[in-house]
Amino acid sequence: MEDDFGKALRQTAELMDRELREFLPDNNGLEKQLYNAMRYSVLSGGKRLRAFLVIQAADLFGVPRLHSTRVASALEIIHSYSLIHDDLPCMDDDDLRRGIPTVHKEFDEATAVLAGDALQSLAFEIIGDAKTHSSAEVRVQLVSKLAYAIGVRGMVGGQTMDIYAEGDDIDIVTITRLQQLKTGALITFACEAGAILGHASPPQQQALKAYAHDLGLAFQIADDILDTEGSAEELGKATGKDDAAGKATFVSLMGLDEAKIHARMLVDQAIEHLEPFGPKADLLRHAARFAIERRN
Amino acid sequence: MEDDFGKALRQTAELMDRELREFLPDNNGLEKQLYNAMRYSVLSGGKRLRAFLVIQAADLFGVPRLHSTRVASALEIIHSYSLIHDDLPCMDDDDLRRGIPTVHKEFDEATAVLAGDALQSLAFEIIGDAKTHSSAEVRVQLVSKLAYAIGVRGMVGGQTMDIYAEGDDIDIVTITRLQQLKTGALITFACEAGAILGHASPPQQQALKAYAHDLGLAFQIADDILDTEGSAEELGKATGKDDAAGKATFVSLMGLDEAKIHARMLVDQAIEHLEPFGPKADLLRHAARFAIERRN
């Protein structure tokens, strides 16, 4: 039976599908191919966990859903851009994503590069728009945080480390830093965005940031565990790739059992950080547990 | 002998080199390769015409150089990102740019994709920063305009049209629209940014936009002419590529003589739009003439 969390996550996914469709209307010009690729990627499902985190963090402060939904959409758009570029032949060279061909397989490489580029700018366009928040100060703060989370000291920095950090260089400290950038930066932005929209106090901001930090890392460790234990059917993408490529992961460095213990510890810690918010934060607590209990 | 315009353009280029270096400090972490590629591209020279336009347009309104220089840097960073991605094997597949190997040749393709991505976000980070302008309203307006100029209805849309519009589809109307997006969108942003920073009146904004519009198109026609007439030595990149690829250009559609007449007419028109600004706009007038008189 679907619990409250499952229901809320499903509703977020449905909401995102509707919202994201609005940002990418049908087009019949010569840019049609680009729009199609952007829609294909952005609307191909996914858990929408990042959107969920924005909305739930913002809900703690009673932020109008109209505002948090727009930031959530922008973040999902950034996530899509990063997946498209990550899947490129010169990067991870993946043919399958969420059970369907990756963008450069369904379209071509040039379209994949351009669709990713256009999605990045679209996210900033959405956040900059007055519909996202009446205060320019809030919007520009969101722009700054998001730009930082994407850039060389955020997600893209982490992706670079991931590509160039080969086998022996990597220890637990390095992979932790790498993953805190590669997947952690956007997850942290999700929670920070909720706090910014909600004019949270500095201690509240800190609590959410710490929560996101631990959650992001647990999420990545769980990903490594799934890559080892999961099936391609369940995941909708190739598994065991890291292992085959001789890539260091939390599982290869810690062993499977230790990785599971570590992930659980991080989730407990993430949940502790939510203490100041009381029962209002229950869905965020569920989200933390979900990060390591999911099967895909 | 160097005239006032030549001197101002050279000073802008020197200023940009100093400023851009500050945004891309040396780095010794695992992201080092990414920083190196970003610096390599951003500091590889170029005319810095876009930066010049931002600064000169802002000067019309007495905007502090501290502010206009930051926006100019952000725009040059966006221009660099677009060149890196444009040169990729799946796009224009160019080995040479400004007389040196392109980023994917000097580094590799993955680094080129990621460096472009990180440069895009860096530009938004710079514009979002309070150092760019004390008013959040102005910064967020710049973010919105820049995001629009990059995205699917701007530069990236134009690049897509350029890739998919083959031979027979293309007439003068189509190529004009294509180039107004592909190169025109950022040039228009340059002048609009000066107007936004300077709190220009709506008629002043319109005048600058119209100037940029004509200038951008003249600039592109001149590029096509250079691609036909110029030498690889002068241009620092391969010439005659469009012709070899059977690509429609202003020259192939209009003929060389007609293209030259058209470019000159656009420059005259661009200069007329500057009338309301009087002699203060003389450097912008020179910039328009330079667009079609340059040899590279």
Q: A139 to chain B nearest CA, in Å?
A: 7
| In chain B, domain spans | 4-293
Q: Tell me: the pLDDT tens digits for B71-108? A: 999 999 999 999 999 999 999 999 999 899 999 999 99
Exposed/middle/buried for residue A166 (C-beta within 10 Å: 0-12, 13-18, 19+): exposed
Say whether the ipTM exceeds 0.85.
yes
Contact A33 B122 (CB under 8 A): no
Q: How far is the alpha carbon of A82 from chain B, nearest alpha carbon, in Å?
A: 9
* Alpha-carbon distance A107 to nearest alpha carbon in chain B (angstroms): 12
Q: Taking CB atoms and an 8 Å limit, are B121 and A161 in contact across chains?
A: no
Q: Which residues of A touch B125 (CB under 8 A)?
A: 144, 147-148, 151
Report pLDDT for A29: 76
pLDDT of residue B233: 64
Mean pLDDT, range A96-124, rounded to an integer: 97
Predicted confidence (pLDDT) per residue in A147-201, tens digit: 999 999 999 999 999 888 766 678 999 999 999 999 999 999 999 999 999 999 9
Distance from C-alpha of A94 to C-alpha of B118, rounded to nearest angstrom: 22
Inter-chain touch B144–A129, beta carbons under 8 Å: yes
Quick one: pLDDT at residue B82? 98
- Average the pLDDT over each of A37-46, B143-152, B191-200, B222-231 and give the range with the smallest value: B222-231
Residues linked to residue A100 through DSSP beta bridges, in sequence order: A97
Q: Which helix (H) or strand (E) holds B294?
A: none
What pLDDT is attached to residue A231? 64
Closest CA to A242 of A100, A95, A92, A90: A92
pLDDT of residue B45: 83
Do B295 and B226 form a contact (C-beta atoms < 8 A)? yes
- Half-sphere exposure for B119 (CA within 13 Å, toward CB): 32
Residue B41 near residue B84 (C-beta atoms within 8 A): yes
**Rounded to the nearest 5°, which phi and psi values hold at A101?**
-60, 145
CATH of the structural domain B4-293, one choice from 3.40.50.10860, 3.40.50.2000, 1.10.600.10, 3.40.50.970? 1.10.600.10
A170 contact B CB<8A: no
